Structure 1
Amino acid sequence: MSVLPDRTAMSFEAWWTPVRVALIVWFIVHVVIFVSQWPAIAALRLADTDDAMRMAQVRDLLAGQGWWDLTQYRVNPADGGVLMHWSRIVDAPIAGGILLLRPLFGQPLAEQMVMAIWPPLHLGALLIAVALGYRHLPDRRIAFAAPLYILFCGYIMVQFRPLRVDHHGWQIFLAMLILWQALRPASRGAGLLGGLFAAMLLAVSIEGLPLAALFAGIAALRWALAGDAADRGRLLGYMAGLAGGAILFQFATRGPPGLAGTWCDSLSAPYFAAFVAAAAGTAATVALRPARPWQRLLLLSGAAALAALALVGTAPECARGPFAALDPIVEQYWYRRVLEGQPIWASKPHDMIYLLAPTLLGAIGALAAWRRCDDAGGRRQWATVLIALAGAAAVSLLVMRSAATAHLFAVPGCAWIGVRLWTWARGMARALPRILASLLAAATLPLFASMALALPLGWVFPALKPVDERTAASDRPERQNCLDAQGIAALDRLPATTILAPIDLGAPLIFWTPHRLVATPHHRNKAAMADTIRVFLGDSSRAEALVRARGATLIVVCRSANDFTQYRKARADDLAAQLYAGKPPAWLEPVPLGVTTGLEVWRVRPAGS
């Protein structure tokens, strides 16, 4: 009679796999997220200009623009449009979802539904990858806990909220897929998949290059130190997947022109040359069968140097980075204000705690797990996590938006500490110590860990307290909703034309209206961006010449926008200051929109009038 309950308990326990737990946690959390985010979803309040431009790209694709043609023709029409550096990999699921729903709901509602549903679905895929990847660590409990820890990583979750359709979620997801393959038992297949995922990451964003190189280094280090056949197969597979996959994904998403072009801000011929050189150098090293670790390390270092020479030799300008060619005025008034792309020391002191605390806690946990692990295979797994975390953390110091990947790799270390504390707490007999120990375990969740560190530091060091936004905004004009429904409808009623607007307003106007824009916040359009900034910073005659040269017939501003505020404060007599004061030059005339809105519109009078 006692066998049946035992079997039932065993069956119930077997049902609780890491993936199922991840999906349950994901479902519960996203019910809460959808309820809290519903007003923004219903109003389509996009929080980032890149989401707006992404949807413009998808709309053009669905309207018949070629799959291989990534030019945005409604931006900078005077020069024939802007070839975007983005990937169709990100466009594909969004466009596919709209195609599926459009016959049932129509284009506008289908877009809204996909923008709301796709990012959370993508998060579900990430949580599954986290559960599958971290189950290869020695402590299987981490695979159960890790999805919950992800949900408390604010820098990760913000990239998967409803309406967030840009590529940053893809970067995090693919980084996890690469680490998953690195934690799998060594084989050529695991290496090949890891290399293909790394190539896909690079196709989505060339910012993934340090990460792709990092995992190549991990695979190389494992083989160099051990020298066994399985690690050799993983290394060869990774390099083949990286080189072959980069070419494959580039051809699939950009066609033959994409294989021959040279761009520093996206996959192109110089990078292919580097990957092929690295793969060939690695294969040659393996073929030589060096017997000693130092020989393998030396030869593999030569292969890495060969790859660097191939990149710099074919495109020396790429050694300076993708933003080196920006006009100084664009760098000053736009690029330096994009905080997510700046080094961590450009952030506010309080924000630095939230950027660094999860990474530091994860490193401490992973190091402790490595030291306490008795099994050599388990120590190698934790060493892999440690090296991946160290590399991602180093990148995040230079580019703040990379903190999400660092936090992703910090999760197993944080969870290792949390699981041990939780187990310790459950074993306590007295209630009060058990509650306190449980709270300590909860404090290992990244968000709570950051808060637990920020609060006492703020007491001791007032400079680390959060900035009072009300005080910081005291010198700004009253915030206005410049993209309210009435204002957008009024702009829609105007005949389609070319608009010159402050850069940050450009992409939303592309999304919401049929008009063309001189510039949006996308760096490949650097000349038009520079001209746009010079229009608002210049005197009347210079501004007029630039506006007419760009073919703009309307100027649209939002009085309370950050960039427009920056322009008008730069000089007391520049065009932005004149427009703000309601004293436009003679070559502009106001265009009444007939509604109360934060937007102000001026029409460019015909030349000579």
Structure 2
Amino acid sequence: MIAAFQALVRPNPAARPLLDNPIVLWGLVLAGIGGLYGQAAILDVVRTLRLPDTDDAMRLVQVRDLLAGQGWFDVAQHRLPPEGASMHWSRLVDLPIAALILLLRPLAGARAEAIAAALWPALAFGLYAVILYRGVRDLFGRRDALLAVFAATQTVLIGALFAPGRVDHHSLQICAVLGMALCLMRTRHGLREGLAAGALSALSLAIGLEALPFIAAAGLVAAGAWIVAGEPTRRLFAGFGLALGIGAPALFALQTAPGAWGATACDALSPPWLWLCAAGGLTGAASLLGARLSGPGRLALAAGGGALAVAGFVLIAPSCLAGPFPDMPDLVRREWLGRVHEMRPVWTLLREQPALLMGTFLPALVAAVAALVLAVADAERRRAWGLAGGFLCVGLAVAVLQFRGLYVTTAFVPLVAGPLLGRAVALLREPGTTTRRQGLALLAGLATLGKVWLILATLAVRADPEASGPSDGWSSCTAGPAMADLAALPPGTVLAPVDLGPSLLLNTPHRVVAAPYHRNIVGIQAGIEAFGSEESLRGVAAARGADYIVLCRAPGGRSPDGPVARGLLDGALVPSWLEPVPVQTMLPQTSGLRVWRVQPGR
């Protein structure tokens, strides 16, 4: 195979290398983008508002409410009883989606929202691709930059998080963190690079705290470089600290009501996290004044700033040391949070979904190892390789405990894969290079492409039919047309499985008892307890004022796995106080949605 590949890329020593031809490289990139944004995937979202995830549905609900007149600072979801659940999401993500809908309305009318949901991820991917291309081009050259963009289209989680309909915040956070890292990787260590990295870090924190480990690592890198090198990196460190210390409070004030500025939240940018940013800003400012500090002096100043940051955080919000969900009841933590896919550890998913880990975790691991090896071997680009490998290791460490740690981590895989593929091709063409070395280089490059691992996983599943998981019929319950009859019923309150909540809010005028967000603890607990027994179901329905009971019977429909839900869906349980409501669908396949009207007087 290697010899055949060599024949393709080296037919004539005097000819121009195939992968140095811009037409070929751009052809690869466009083919990869075409695979991500095919016509069928986009039209599916436009026609049926079929969204990939519950968070995408809730994001669109938040944007719709904003456009309907809900206040900028009011991020509560008022159709989550009893008082409405406060969401910890950023309005900064709502803003561009809302603007896109407004731009499309004169042309598309009522379909503007669905078209925006289909197009926004592609626009976000375009932003990611531009950041990736420019960063890799400046560090490694134009060919490797185009190969990196192609590798991004072959990276499983990039494809998933930028897919049509994926309007959640992860795409913008990925762009911010990648841009921050690339600023630190540049050979020039000036104030401008530091300011840009700090500002992008502040933006990431304002969007969400998931990337906090990466930002902490970036701060340590900037501080460490200043401690070791002194004057050449002082402006980089100062710029990073100042931009973070000023930018984070500014963005916090931009999206937070003044009356809530003093409220502590462990799950979003708030006083304890702002204190950490302010401490970084003060330390950065102090470094500008300490131009003549020796190495021990710089270490003492940085250590003092770090101690001040930690001490202030502990005094302001000691409860946040336990994580973002310190007050979550054990029932909710066990029966809901512990079953959320993105919150599960690697060893659980390895047993249940090995193909998923093959396509996501392994490419990141290969990229991390390759980057660290090249950091030792490539002195000219040691900083870039070392930082890429370091950020990948930070993300992998988080991902071992929680799968969602891979979301931001995956941004760095194409950054390594592009130059690695470029080196592999160069070695294949290099006269005198051993076949073994060429083969290892080619395999290393291919091993960073998640879709290669997915192909191997698919072959393994086909060889072992028992390894295949259940089909997911979730969309037959959550797409807009599937809920058309339910939406036509008189507005009321729906008691349904927790994961159905966002789609019910998006596609119907009803209120819902529960949705999968940790600030809706009362609703989640009610949604868990309701389906324990018929008595519990009736009690929760009465207590929460439910007018309808809704379940999804499709395979993979995520309905509660208990005798009550199964009995209702199979018809074995027919309570006198529930009246079945016929539900049809405008979808080509049969809807899995089942609806009952609560009869309180019976």
Q: TM-score range, shorter-chain basis? A: 0.7 to 0.9
Partner in structure 1 of residue 519 of structure 2: 524
Question: Are 1:401 and 2:404 counterparts?
Answer: yes
- Secondary structure of 1:85's aligned partner: coil
Q: For 1:378-457, what aligned pairs fall within 5 Å after superposition? A: 378-427=381-430, 440=443, 443-447=446-450, 450=453
1:149 counterpart letter in structure 2: A
Question: Are 1:588 and 2:578 counterparts?
Answer: yes
Shift, 1:397, TM fit: 2.1
Shift, 1:253, TM fit: 1.7
Question: Are 1:314 and 2:316 counterparts?
Answer: yes
Residue 418 of structure 1 contacts residue 442 of structure 1 at CA under 8 Å; is this kept in 2? yes
Residue 268 and residue 563 in structure 1: after superposition, are their counterparts in 2 closer, same or farther (change >3 A)?
farther
Question: Are 1:254 and 2:285 counterparts?
Answer: no
Partner in structure 1 of residue 166 of structure 2: 164
1:343 counterpart letter in structure 2: P
In the TM superposition, what whole-angstrom CA distance separates every residue of 1:250-289 from its partner, at most 9, and x where no partner exists? 1112231342221111111111122212322443455455
Q: Could you tell me which of 348, 351, 358 is aligned with 2:350?
A: 348
Write the distance in 2 (CA, Å) between the matches of 1:362 and 1:189: 29
Partner in structure 2 of residue 358 of structure 1: 363
Partner in structure 2 of residue 3 of structure 1: none
Residue 234 of structure 2 contacts residue 287 of structure 2 at CA under 8 Å; is this kept in 1? no
- Secondary structure of 1:537's aligned partner: coil
- Secondary structure of 2:476's aligned partner: coil
Residue 148 of structure 2 contacts residue 416 of structure 2 at CA under 8 Å; is this kept in 1? no
Residue 582 and residue 514 in structure 1: after superposition, are their counterparts in 2 closer, same or farther (change >3 A)?
farther
Shift, 1:27, TM fit: 4.5
Residue 590 of structure 1 contacts residue 603 of structure 1 at CA under 8 Å; is this kept in 2? yes
2:79 counterpart letter in structure 1: R
Residue 393 of structure 1 contacts residue 406 of structure 1 at CA under 8 Å; is this kept in 2? yes
Write the distance in 2 (CA, Å) between the matches of 1:232 and 1:435: 41
Q: Could you tell me which of 242, 262, 266 is aligned with 1:240?
A: 242
Count of aligned pairs: 574
Shift, 1:384, TM fit: 2.5
Residue 177 and residue 445 in structure 1: after superposition, are their counterparts in 2 closer, same or farther (change >3 A)?
same
Shift, 1:139, TM fit: 5.8
Write the distance in 1 (CA, Å) between the matches of 2:407 and 2:463: 21
Question: Are 1:44 and 2:49 counterparts?
Answer: yes
Question: Are 1:34 and 2:38 counterparts?
Answer: yes
- Secondary structure of 2:324's aligned partner: coil
- Secondary structure of 1:511's aligned partner: helix
Write the distance in 2 (CA, Å) between the matches of 1:308 and 1:467: 51
1:529 counterpart letter in structure 2: I
2:486 counterpart letter in structure 1: L
Deviation larger for 200-209 or 554-563: 554-563
1:358 counterpart letter in structure 2: P
Residue 455 and residue 159 in structure 1: after superposition, are their counterparts in 2 closer, same or farther (change >3 A)?
closer
Residue 292 and residue 139 in structure 1: after superposition, are their counterparts in 2 closer, same or farther (change >3 A)?
farther
Write the distance in 1 (CA, Å) between the matches of 2:436 and 2:584: 66
User: TM-score normalized by structure 2?
Assistant: 0.86
- Secondary structure of 2:265's aligned partner: coil
Residue 144 and residue 469 in structure 1: after superposition, are their counterparts in 2 closer, same or farther (change >3 A)?
same
In the TM superposition, what whole-angstrom CA distance separates every residue of 1:88-125 from its partner, at most 9, and x where no partner exists? 11111111011011122213x11121111111111111
Residue 515 and residue 276 in structure 1: after superposition, are their counterparts in 2 closer, same or farther (change >3 A)?
same
Write the distance in 1 (CA, Å) between the matches of 2:239 and 2:25: 30
Question: Are 1:598 and 2:601 counterparts?
Answer: no
* Gapped regions of structure 2 (runs ≥ 5): 1-15
Write the distance in 1 (CA, Å) between the matches of 2:226 and 2:102: 46
Deviation larger for 358-367 or 579-588: 579-588
Shift, 1:528, TM fit: 1.2
- Secondary structure of 1:524's aligned partner: coil
Partner in structure 2 of residue 559 of structure 1: 553
Identity %: 34
Shift, 1:359, TM fit: 2.3
Question: Are 1:208 and 2:211 counterparts?
Answer: yes
Residue 156 of structure 1 contacts residue 172 of structure 1 at CA under 8 Å; is this kept in 2? no
Residue 242 of structure 2 contacts residue 284 of structure 2 at CA under 8 Å; is this kept in 1? no
Shift, 1:346, TM fit: 2.1
Partner in structure 2 of residue 547 of structure 1: 541
Residue 491 and residue 467 in structure 1: after superposition, are their counterparts in 2 closer, same or farther (change >3 A)?
farther
In the TM superposition, what whole-angstrom CA distance separates every residue of 1:455-506 from its partner, at most 9, and x where no partner exists? 99x6xxxxx99984786549x9x98922466642211221111111111111
Write the distance in 2 (CA, Å) between the matches of 1:566 and 1:265: 27
Residue 499 of structure 1 contacts residue 555 of structure 1 at CA under 8 Å; is this kept in 2? yes
Residue 50 of structure 2 contacts residue 480 of structure 2 at CA under 8 Å; is this kept in 1? no
1:585 counterpart letter in structure 2: P
Q: Could you tell me which of 107, 111, 122 is aligned with 2:113?
A: 111
- Secondary structure of 2:154's aligned partner: coil
Residue 343 of structure 2 contacts residue 403 of structure 2 at CA under 8 Å; is this kept in 1? yes
In the TM superposition, what whole-angstrom CA distance separates every residue of 1:334-353 from its partner, at most 9, and x where no partner exists? 21221212222221252333
Q: For 1:15-414, what aligned pairs fall within 5 Å after superposition? A: 27-32=30-35, 33-38=37-42, 40-41=44-45, 42-76=47-81, 79-107=82-110, 109-137=111-139, 141-184=143-186, 185-228=188-231, 230-284=232-286, 287-288=289-290, 291-349=293-351, 350=354, 351-375=356-380, 378-414=381-417
Residue 140 of structure 2 contacts residue 419 of structure 2 at CA under 8 Å; is this kept in 1? no
In the TM superposition, what whole-angstrom CA distance separates every residue of 1:178-221 from its partner, at most 9, and x where no partner exists? 11211231111211111111111111111121111111111101
Deviation larger for 310-319 or 595-604: 595-604
Partner in structure 2 of residue 8 of structure 1: none
Shift, 1:51, TM fit: 0.8
1:143 counterpart letter in structure 2: A
Residue 528 and residue 428 in structure 1: after superposition, are their counterparts in 2 closer, same or farther (change >3 A)?
same
Deviation larger for 388-397 or 154-163: 388-397
Write the distance in 2 (CA, Å) between the matches of 1:489 and 1:354: 36
Residue 192 of structure 1 contacts residue 238 of structure 1 at CA under 8 Å; is this kept in 2? yes
In the TM superposition, what whole-angstrom CA distance separates every residue of 1:199-244 from its partner, at most 9, and x where no partner exists? 111111111211111111111011111001x411111111111121
Shift, 1:333, TM fit: 2.2
Deviation larger for 346-355 or 249-258: 346-355
2:374 counterpart letter in structure 1: A
Residue 285 and residue 232 in structure 1: after superposition, are their counterparts in 2 closer, same or farther (change >3 A)?
closer
Deviation larger for 82-91 or 597-606: 597-606
Write the distance in 2 (CA, Å) between the matches of 1:525 and 1:239: 35
2:519 counterpart letter in structure 1: R
1:399 counterpart letter in structure 2: Q
- Secondary structure of 1:174's aligned partner: helix
Residue 534 and residue 116 in structure 1: after superposition, are their counterparts in 2 closer, same or farther (change >3 A)?
same
Residue 292 and residue 581 in structure 1: after superposition, are their counterparts in 2 closer, same or farther (change >3 A)?
farther
Residue 167 and residue 297 in structure 1: after superposition, are their counterparts in 2 closer, same or farther (change >3 A)?
same
Residue 292 and residue 213 in structure 1: after superposition, are their counterparts in 2 closer, same or farther (change >3 A)?
same
Write the distance in 2 (CA, Å) between the matches of 1:292 and 1:466: 64
Shift, 1:129, TM fit: 0.2
Write the distance in 2 (CA, Å) between the matches of 1:466 and 1:396: 29
Residue 443 of structure 1 contacts residue 452 of structure 1 at CA under 8 Å; is this kept in 2? no
Shift, 1:552, TM fit: 1.4
Shift, 1:302, TM fit: 3.0
Write the distance in 1 (CA, Å) between the matches of 2:192 and 2:124: 25
Write the distance in 2 (CA, Å) between the matches of 1:497 and 1:245: 43
2:311 counterpart letter in structure 1: L
Question: Are 1:510 and 2:495 counterparts?
Answer: no
